Structure 1
């Protein structure tokens, strides 16, 4: 039986893994608090591995403040690179496999076609660079790894684009949303389910995989979907990236091809708008309580 430990358990994906594990009836999964499982503290990590004796570790811990990372390079690199390296070392020492969650930001985002796992990673931000460095360290240290790149993550947990848009839509009469950055939203509940299904398959097939929901959209159309589904009455206007400059450069096109993960593990991936409907219903249910 698999014995799973989740690092970064209090974050968005960690909370989704807890919810999905409960739905699936998985009891051999553990969510130690960061104070006891800090990925930057090798001694603490060693104790966690000795205590839980995991067959699999899932690394949900990450520095994800994309703009702030441009000026906070050392901390972003410690968490995204060194933290992943520390986990890989512990997994190797204790005979565990590692699920390392990564990002579409490892790509430059200038291709006219959906990105496959073997495309050249060429990050254009510190966040993307440090996540790529984490990928590279994991792959160099530990053959038994699943590197899962995802994009535009949201859920009913933590702070994310969906919850931000719902709040802004309720507070403002109009919003300007970037329309020339194209990718795919990912419901973190769907990603959590896919990760647990991969572990349950127990067949190895280690390597890099892409996972997002199906379909293609822009931030503008994503926002429009949020407002349409939630019946939020707010005027929205599409703008170019140049009209809303940020500290970090974002990929203009980061749609990922999911053929490998679907073929290898037989995973069925929902369409992004269908999953958005589920999430908004969950949020509405939570807000009514």
Structure 2
């Protein structure tokens, strides 16, 4: 039975993993939240890796507040880059395959067709820069790894675009959403199945992959779909706006090509 360590277990993806993990009887999971395992603390990592002989580590620990990362980039880099470096060194030392989750925000959004794994990253905000540096550390340190870039992740857990739109609609609030950013909304539960199937099927970890649900939408279209799926179209007025002000620059086009 393969032993799998999950970091960032209380985050959106971590909660989806906790929900789906019981379906994989051939895998033994250890879930660690940021209090149990702080990836920015090498002693915390050392203690965890010495207690159990893990086969895989799925790193869901990340600083994902894109807006706040512009104001306090040191925190984003501490978690998304230095913390990932710490984890990579531990995985290498203990011969643990690392599956790391990255983002479409490593790209600048200037391309007019889906980004492939061969495209050169060029992040335009601090969050994207911190995630890219984390990727680079893994590539420099390890051989047995998979970096999975995904986009517009959502689920029933935590605060994300899906739950935010749903909450506003259920409260009868009018909603204004931009149609100027294009990407692929990805259900975190689908990403979990993809990851666990990799482990369950003994796929040797190596390289960068892209995973999305494969449907290209802008944020307005995604909001429309959320309202339709939840029978809330009559509850709220959905307004399309071109200029939706955010502190962080965001890629206008960040569709990932899954190969």
The reply to whether TM is greater than 0.5 is: yes
The answer for the alignment partner of 1:136 in structure 2 is: 136
Q: 1:48 corresponds to which residue?
A: 48
Question: Larger helix proportion, structure 1 or 2?
Answer: 1
Cα pair 2:182 2:219 within 8 Å, conserved? yes
After superposition, give the CA deviation of every residue in 1:78-117 in whole Å (9 maximum; x if it has no partner).
Answer: 0000010000000011011111100000000111111101
Post-superposition offset of 1:6: 0.4
Asked if the contact 1:180–1:218 (Cα under 8 Å) also holds between the matched residues in 2, the reply is yes
Aligned to 1:190: 190
C-alpha displacement of 1:200: 1.7
| Cα distance, 1:33 vs structure 2 | 3.2
- The 3 A distance-change label for structure 1 pair 121 and 90 is same
For residues 236 and 156 of structure 1, the distance between their equivalents in structure 2, rounded to whole angstroms, comes to 21
> Aligned partners of 1:35, 1:173: CA distance in 2, in Å?
36
Displacement after TM superposition at 1:70 (Å): 0.3
Partner in structure 1 of residue 245 of structure 2? 245
Give 2:29's aligned residue.
Answer: 29
TM-score, with length taken from structure 2: 0.96
Contact between 1:5 and 1:52, CA under 8 Å: does it hold in 2?
A: no
Equivalent in the alignment of 1:167: 167
Give RMSD over aligned pairs: 1.2
* Alignment check: 8 A CA contact 2:27 2:200 kept: no
What per-residue deviation string (whole Å, max 9, x for no partner) do you get for residues 172-227 of structure 1?
45221110100011100000110111112223151000011011001000000011
Residue correspondences, number: 257
Partner in structure 1 of residue 148 of structure 2 = 148
Find the aligned partners of 2:99 and 2:177 in 1 and give their Cα distance. Answer: 33
Gaps of 5+ in 2: none
Cα 1:128/1:85, change in 2 over 3 Å: same
Q: Runs (4+) of structure 1 moved beyond 3 Å?
A: none
Residues 256-288 of structure 1 show CA distances to partners (whole Å, capped at 9, x for unaligned) of 1112xxxxxxxxxxxxxxxxxxxxxxxxxxxxx
1:236 alignment partner, one of 235, 238, 241: 238
- Aligned equivalents of 1:251, 1:172: Cα separation in 2: 30
Matched-pair contact (CA < 8 Å) for 1:40–1:86: yes
Q: Give the SS at the match of 2:98.
A: strand
Cα shift at 1:36:
2.3
Report SS of the residue matched to 2:71.
coil
> What secondary structure is seen at the aligned counterpart in 1 of 2:2?
coil
Please name the residue that 1:11 is paired with.
Answer: 11
* Aligned-partner Cα distance in 1 for 2:46–2:148: 24
Q: Structure 2 CA distance, aligned partners of 1:137 and 1:168?
A: 39
The answer for the alignment partner of 2:58 in structure 1 is 58
Alignment of 1:200 with 2:207, yes or no, is no
